[in-house]
Amino acid sequence: MSANTKGKVYLVGAGPGDPELLTFKALRILRAADVVLHDELVGREILSLASASALVRSVGKRCGRQTITQEGINSLLVTYAAAGLQVVRLKGGDPLIFGRGGEEIEALRKAGVEVEIVPGVTAALGAGAGAQIPLTHRNISSALVFITGHSADTHDAKQWRALTASGATLVIYMPGSDYHDLAEKLMAAGVKAETPCALVSGATTSEERTLLTSVRELPMASMSASAPTVLIVGEVVRLAKQQRRVGESLSELLIGQRVAALENAASLAGD
């Protein structure tokens, strides 16, 4: 690319995993990019759509391990754009929903770098579609709240209750692994223990799995859930396509484990 060409940064949503959920615009920009800085969870199928001549680099984190700070990412975006390159910051889901897109926009504006947002299908929509759960329903829930599991630690009880008081469907991104703690926070905020939940992992990918449970049963669900996971909480979950409830399957698993332990103990005693 000519050194006289003005660089630009595109914050592009890669969607929740299925390459066919990329928008035409996202695909066009990805194919024309000089540099692609992507999140760790963006799959190979999507990355393979970038130009063969593009510099493709992971700047994401996985399981809490981060290879580069947010400030470092901001610096890379500014540096590559200042060199006259077309830069794609490729983010899982939508770039402005829990993706630190706002921080990157601020940094780029401060540096005088042109930036454009290309929205993508966020994980909540992919998870709802896969499980056939209408996130809103005129007879059940007319409001929808996106929140992260981390915010359960930073919001006080009054704020947490305000989010749940309306009966809105809650979609919790990055719920973590301590579902016992999360269930307690939900119930302390006024969510009934029998409120149905859906844990959707690997939404829209070949690894997609939906576990139907309730707030009360969430601690048991941690035995089967695997990241990346989205948790949907609300009465709309009762409309999910028919699947085995996680509480039932896990109860059978626990019984099987207890039986095996007893048989093993009896065998050792016999020895």
Q: In what helix (H) or strand (E) does residue 103 lie, and over which residues does it extend?
A: helix 101-110
Catalytic status, residue 110:
no
For the segment 219-228, the average pLDDT, to the nearest whole number, is 75
Catalytic residue among 61, 110, 192, 241: 61
- Domains along the chain with CATH numbers: 8-121 (3.40.1010.10), 124-250 (3.30.950.10)
Q: Is the pLDDT of residue 36 over 90?
A: yes
Q: What's the pLDDT band for 170 if we cut at 50, 70, 90?
A: very high
Catalytic status, residue 25:
no
Catalytic residue among 18, 39, 94, 185: 39
Query: What confidence score (pLDDT) does residue 166 get?
Result: 79
What pTM does this model have? 0.83
What is the rounded CA–CA span in Å between residue 34 and residue 131?
A: 37
For the segment 202-211, the average pLDDT, to the nearest whole number, is 93
Residue 9 CA: distances (Å) to CA of 86, 112, 122, 151: 6, 11, 20, 29
Residue 193 CA: distances (Å) to CA of 214, 229, 255, 269: 7, 21, 23, 42
User: What is the amino acid identity at position 9?
Assistant: V
Highest mean pLDDT among 73-77, 246-250, 265-269 belongs to 73-77
pLDDT single digits (tens) 72-104? 999 999 999 999 999 999 999 999 999 899 999
Q: Is the pLDDT of residue 252 over 50?
A: no
Q: Is the pLDDT of residue 185 over 80?
A: yes
What is the rounded CA–CA span in Å between residue 29 and residue 26?
A: 5
